[in-house]
Amino acid sequence: MVVAAHLQGAASTWFMRRFDSLQRMTFDELCTALRYNFRCPLDRLEISAALGSTTKKATESYADFSHHLSTIAATMNDGEESIATAEDALATFVKNAWPQHRASLFSCVKMQSADPWREMEEAIKYPTKVAGHDGRRRFSSTHPTPSRDRPVPTKRSEPSAPTTSNRRAKTPRRDFSNAVCDTCHRRGHTTGYHDQWVARQGQAVHARLALAATSILDDEEEKPLPTTSTDTPSRDSERDE
């Protein structure tokens, strides 16, 4: 029954169904029967490849990871540990326990020793001391409760229609106040606009003359005319009297 307490899955079912016949076996005969019926179906090369690719889980301590590797390595020897299987487990532990400290861990242990199990214990102590814990990641038991408030839908602002205008932007006027004409050598216009400037000046002169003539006529119309009276007697009439 002690053996049955450590069996799981199909092995436990197999043991319970054959309990009466297995009870008459010795312990060595029972182990041989278990290996024959539940040995690993993989060959040595496949087991070695699986061992080398085994990585430590976040919830697994360094000691548990070491035991896991030793169990896998023992399957290459019908489930029995040997110095060779222990060395294989130790090499995998150094490589995959903490890859960032692989070189330091490699220098702390002897990969080939008469007692690889003792070297495995020393290998477990190093990452435990450096990390400050046994290798199991602590997950917070309390998780933030998501808010039950319904999110307020935000109104999307509709893109405004592009405004089109037929008006062209006004071109800023250039300042020709300091420009000098090469034709008349006067300021206020360039040589290319000399003819236009002269025409504008002529129109301005005519406008000033017309304005002056209009003002003269207005002044003359406002002057009073000389008055003649019929009641005043002339000198000839005075002489006749």
Q: Which residues contact 109 (CB under 8 A, 6 or more apart)?
A: 90, 94, 119, 120, 122, 123, 126
Let me know the angle formed at the C-alpha of 12 by 10 and 16, rounded to the nearest 5 degrees. Answer: 115
* The two structure tokens encoding residue 199: 């025409």
Segments in the chain below pLDDT 50 = 141-144, 238, 241
Q: What is the pLDDT of residue 204?
A: 66
Cα distance between residue 1 and residue 16, in whole Å: 9
Please give the pLDDT value at position 216.
67
Task: Please say whether the beta carbons of 134 and 109 come within 8 A.
Answer: no
SS3 call for 180: strand
Dihedral of CA 78/82/87/90: which sign? positive
Structure tokens at 149: 């408030």
- Indicate the domain borders of the chain: 8-38, 42-137, 178-219
pLDDT in tens, 216-238: 666 666 666 555 555 555 555 54
DSSP 131-199: HTSSSPPPPPS--PPPP-SPPPPPPPPPPPPPP---PPPPPPPP--TT-B-TTT--BTS-GGGHHHHHH
Q: In the prediction, which pLDDT does 143 show?
A: 47
- The structure's pTM equals 0.49
Determine the Cα–Cα distance for residues 241 and 239; give it in Å rounded to an integer.
5
Q: Give strand pairing partners of 180.
A: 187
Distance CA 120, CA 65 (A): 11
Distance CA(21)–CA(33), nearest Å, equals 12
Q: Give the pLDDT score at 180.
A: 77
pLDDT digits (tens, 9 = 90+) for 114-128: 999 999 999 999 999
Q: What is the pLDDT of residue 141?
A: 47
User: Which residues partner with 187 through β-bridges?
Assistant: 180
Helix (H, G, I), strand (E, B) or coil at 109: coil
- Do residues 181 and 194 make contact, with C-beta atoms less than 8 angstroms apart? yes
